[in-house]
Structure 1
C-alpha cells in the first residue's frame, strides 16, 4: 500500500473518532423527552445527561492533551476511542437515570481525549503544505456531525428507541480503533518530559470545574447568589495558582510561552466568542421554533441542521484558502456574518415562513465555516510544531468554555427580556378582562385571578397562560356557584346566558394568548439582537488570529518558535 493510501486510512480513523465524539453532543438533545418518559424525573434531572458530558469534557481536555504529548498521542487516542465506545454501549443498557448520567460523564472524559488529539494526529500524518486543506476537511466533518445529530437522533428515537443514539457509536468506534492500530504512527512532544505536572493538573482541573459547574447552575441559582460567587472566586483562585505553578514548575503541562504569541491568543479568544455565539444562536432558535412557533423537536432539529450544512460547505473551502492567503480576513468576515445572522433572527415572527428561517440559519452556518477551520489552522501554523498538541487542547478548551458561558448569559438575558415583555402584556390582559362589557363580574374575577396567578418563568422562559379549556372550566365553575343560591326562575335566566359567556371567554382568551405570544416574540427579538452584539468583539480578535501573508519568512519562523510577540 502506498503512502497516500495509508494517509487516507489514517485520516479516516481520526475523522471517525472525531465524528463520533461531536455527534454525541447534538444527537442526545432531541431524545431527552423520551428519556424523561423512560426514567421519570424532571427537566433539572434529565438536563444532566447533557451537562455531565459538557462538564467532564471542559474539565479534562487540557490534561488529556498534555498526557498525550508526554506518553504518545496514538496511545492516548486509542484509550479515548475505546472508552467512548464502551461507555456508549453501556449507556444504551443503562438501568437508571443516575447510571446514564455517570456514563455520560465518562463519555465526556473520553471526548476530551479524542477531540483535541485530532489536530496533532492530523498534522503529524500529513505534510505541512497540506495542513490547510486537511483542517478544512476536519472543519467540514465537524459541521456534518453537528448537522446530522438532530436529524439522526430524531429518526433513531422515533423509528427504534432512544438507546440507539448510543448504540450507533459502537461500529464507528470499533472501526476507528482498527484503522488507528493499523495506519496511525506514534507521535509526541519530545520536549515534554515524562513527569506528570500534578500541581498544574490539580489546579486547572479544579478551576475549570468551578467555572463550568457555576455557569451550568447560574440559571438555577442566579448570578449574584453566594454559591455562584463562591464557585467563581474559587475558580479564579485556582487559575491563579495554576499559572503560578506553571511559571515555577520544572516541567509545566502548559508552557506559558505560548501566550507570548499574539496570534495564538487571538485564535483562542476568537473561538471563545464563536463558541458562545454558536450555542446562543442554536439555543435561541430551538426555543423559538418549539416554544413560540409550536414545532415538534424533530422538525426544529431538521431546520437547525441547515446551520451546520452551511458550515460544512464553507469549511471545506475556507480551510485550504486560508492556508494560502492567511486566516485573518476569513475569520473576521465569518464572525461578522454570524453576528448579522443572529441579529436577523430577531426579525422572526409567529408567521415567519420556514424558507426565511432556513436562509438565516444557512447564512449563520456560512459564518461558522468561514471562522472555525481558518482559526484552527492559524493556531496550528503559528506555534512550534512540537506544541501543536497542547495548543489544540487550549483552543478546544476555550471553545468549550465559551459554549457554556454563552448558554449562561443568553438564558439569563432571555429570561429577563421575556419577564419584562410578558409581565407587561399580562397586566394589560387583566385590565382587558376587567373592562369587558359582556362578562359577568364573577366570570371576570375567575379569569383575572387565573391570569394573575400564572407564572412568568416557566420552562424555557415562556409564561404559563390559562388554556381555553381551563378558562372554560373556570367560567363553568363560577356560573354553577352563582346559580346555586338563586331562585328557579333566576337560575334559568343565568343558564341561558352560559353559551354567550363561554363564547366571549373563548374569544377573550384567544386574543390574550395572541398578545402574550407577541410579547414573547419581542423578548426573543431583543435577545437575538444581544446575541449578535456579543459576537462583535470576535471580529477584532479574529483580525489578530494570524499573521499577515506579507510578513517576511524570518518573522514567520520566529513566530513558530514562539519568540515573536
Structure 2
C-alpha cells in the first residue's frame, strides 16, 4: 500500500494531469473550427472530412481500456508520460501532413496518445486525493478540459485565418514538452495498485478490434460494408465477453459492470450524454462558416460560449457532488442539456446569433452540472486497484459516445448530402441534416435522464 501522499505531491499530480487535460480537448476543438479550411486544401467531401475528427476518437476509444489496465499493472505515471510523448510527436506529424489520408492517419496516432493520457490522468488524481477532496480535484481537472474547449475555437479560428490550420498542431508541441519536463523533474512517485497481475493481451486485441469494426461500420452506413462491419463488431463483442469471463486477469472486469450498479449506470449516462452532444461543435462550426458566412475567428467566438460556461461551473459542480449525491446533480445537468439541444432543433439560416449563443449557454451549464459529478460517481464507486480501469472505462464511454455522435452525423450526411463537398450549393440538404441530427440528439439525451437517476447512491 503506497504512503499517504503529501500536499506537495497532490498539487504536482493535479497540475500535471490538469495541463494534459487541457491539451487534448484544445486540439480537438481547434481542429473542428479548421475543418472547412482542411477540406478546401485537401478537397475532402463531407464524409471524408468527418474522418479527420473521428479517426482521432477511434484511436482513443480503441486503446483507453487496455492502456488503463496496463497502467494499473505497470505504472500510471509511465503510461501517462508515454501518452504525452506520443501526443506531442503526432501533433508535429499532423502539422506536416501532405494529404488528407496522412492527416487522418496521424490523427489516429494522436488518439492513441490521448488514450494513454485519458486512461491515467484521472486515475492519478484519484490515487492521491482522499474521497472528501476528490470531487473538487476532479472538478478542477474537468475545468481544464473546458478551458481547452473554450480557447480552442477562439485561438484555432484566428490561427487558421492568419497562419493556416497547420499552426494549430504546432501550438501543442511546447506545452507537451513542458509537461514531460515537469514529470521528469517533480514527479518521482509511481502508482501501480495491480502490480504483479497479468496483462490480458488477447482480451485487449479483441476489445480494440471490436471497437474498430463497430466504429468503422458506423462511418460507412448505410452501405452494405458498414452493416457487415457492425455485424463483425457484434460477433467480436461476443468473443470478447466469453474470453473476459474466463481469463483470471481480464483487461475489463465484466462482473464489475454487472455487480456495481452505480459504476455501470454512471458509465451508461456518460455514453448517452456524449453521444448526444459531441457533434454539436462540429455541426455548428460548419453552419456558422458555410451557411452564415462567418470567418473562422468570428465563428470561434460564437462557439466559445459553451465551453466557457462549462469551465466556470465545472469545479463548483464537482464540489457540490462532494456534499450532494452525484445522481441528482448529474441528472439535473442532463435535463438542462436536453433543453439546450431541443432549442437547436429550430436552427434556421436566419436564426439570430444571440439566440444561438443563448442555447449554447444553457447547453454548457447543463454539461458542467453533469460531467464533474458523473466522474466523481464513477471513481468513488470502485476500489483503488481498479482506478485505471475505471478511468479508462469512463473515457471509453465518453469517446465511444463521441464516435457514435459523429457516426450519426456521418450517416445523415451520407443519406441527405452524399459525397459532395459542403458549400452553398448544398445548403438546403445541409440544413435538413442539422435539424434531423439535433432532433435525434435531443431524444437520446432525454433517454439518458432516467439512466442517470437510476444509478443510486455512491456513498454509504
Length-normalised TM-score, structure 1: 0.75
Please state if 1:240 is matched with 2:238. yes
Please state if 1:386 is matched with 2:347. no
- Give the counterpart of 2:229 among 218, 231, 236: 231
In 2: Cα distance, 1:131 partner to 1:320 partner: 8
Name structure 2 gaps, 5 residues minimum: none
Q: 1:256 Cα deviation (Å)?
A: 2.0
1:122 alignment counterpart: 125
Deviations 1:139-178 (A, max 9, x none): 1111111111111111222222322211111111111112
- Give the counterpart of 1:535 among 427, 436, 445: 445
Cα distance 1:31–1:41, how it changes in 2: closer, same or farther (>3 A)? same
Please state if 1:147 is matched with 2:147. no
Deviations 1:320-348 (A, max 9, x none): 11011110111111111011111112233
In 1: Cα distance, 2:383 partner to 2:252 partner: 13
Deviations 1:36-92 (A, max 9, x none): 454555555554432321221111111111111111000111111111112222332
Bigger mean CA offset, 28-37 vs 156-165: 28-37
Bigger mean CA offset, 347-356 vs 169-178: 347-356
CA RMSD after TM alignment:
2.6
SS of equivalent to 2:425? coil
Length-normalised TM-score, structure 2: 0.91
| Equivalences for residues 481-500 of structure 1 within 5 A | none
Cα distance 1:324–1:28, how it changes in 2: closer, same or farther (>3 A)? same
- Give the counterpart of 2:89 among 76, 86, 91: 86
In 1: Cα distance, 2:28 partner to 2:144 partner: 14
In 2: Cα distance, 1:409 partner to 1:46 partner: 14
Q: Does the 8 Å contact 2:44/2:421 carry over to 1?
A: no
Deviations 1:186-225 (A, max 9, x none): 444434634321220111011011011112222xxx1xx3
1:400 alignment counterpart: 399
Bigger mean CA offset, 77-86 vs 120-129: 120-129
1:285 alignment counterpart: 284
2:269 alignment counterpart: 270
Deviations 1:419-443 (A, max 9, x none): 5xxxxxxxxxxxxxxxxxxxxxxxx
Q: Does the 8 Å contact 1:414/1:527 carry over to 2?
A: no
In 2: Cα distance, 1:228 partner to 1:414 partner: 15
Cα distance 1:531–1:93, how it changes in 2: closer, same or farther (>3 A)? closer
Deviations 1:224-271 (A, max 9, x none): x32122111111111111111111102111122311100111111101
| Equivalences for residues 87-486 of structure 1 within 5 A | 87-191=90-194, 193-218=196-221, 222=222, 225-259=223-257, 260-413=259-412, 457=418, 459=420, 464=425
In 2: Cα distance, 1:393 partner to 1:84 partner: 17
SS of equivalent to 2:125? helix
1:77 alignment counterpart: 80
Q: 1:283 Cα deviation (Å)?
A: 3.6
In 2: Cα distance, 1:100 partner to 1:287 partner: 19
Q: Does the 8 Å contact 1:203/1:238 carry over to 2?
A: yes
Cα distance 1:368–1:522, how it changes in 2: closer, same or farther (>3 A)? same
Cα distance 1:296–1:160, how it changes in 2: closer, same or farther (>3 A)? closer
Name structure 1 gaps, 5 residues minimum: 420-455, 466-515, 550-555, 557-565
Deviations 1:452-510 (A, max 9, x none): xxxx6575888837xxxxxxxxxxxxxxxxxxxxxxxxxxxxxxxxxxxxxxxxxxxxx
What is the number of residues matched between the two proteins?
455
Work out which of the two has the higher radius of gyration on C-alpha atoms and give 1 or 2.
1
Q: 1:10 Cα deviation (Å)?
A: 2.7
SS of equivalent to 1:216? helix
Cα distance 1:68–1:24, how it changes in 2: closer, same or farther (>3 A)? same
Cα distance 1:310–1:344, how it changes in 2: closer, same or farther (>3 A)? same
Q: 1:107 Cα deviation (Å)?
A: 0.9
Please state if 1:8 is matched with 2:6. no
Say which structure, 1 or 2, has more relative contact order (CA 8 Å, 6+ apart).
2
SS of equivalent to 2:316? helix
1:64 alignment counterpart: 67
Q: 1:526 Cα deviation (Å)?
A: 5.2
Cα distance 1:290–1:46, how it changes in 2: closer, same or farther (>3 A)? closer
SS of equivalent to 1:240? helix
In 1: Cα distance, 2:41 partner to 2:408 partner: 31
Q: Does the 8 Å contact 1:14/1:180 carry over to 2?
A: no
Q: 1:14 Cα deviation (Å)?
A: 1.2
Cα distance 1:247–1:80, how it changes in 2: closer, same or farther (>3 A)? same
Cα distance 1:373–1:358, how it changes in 2: closer, same or farther (>3 A)? same
Cα distance 1:157–1:283, how it changes in 2: closer, same or farther (>3 A)? closer
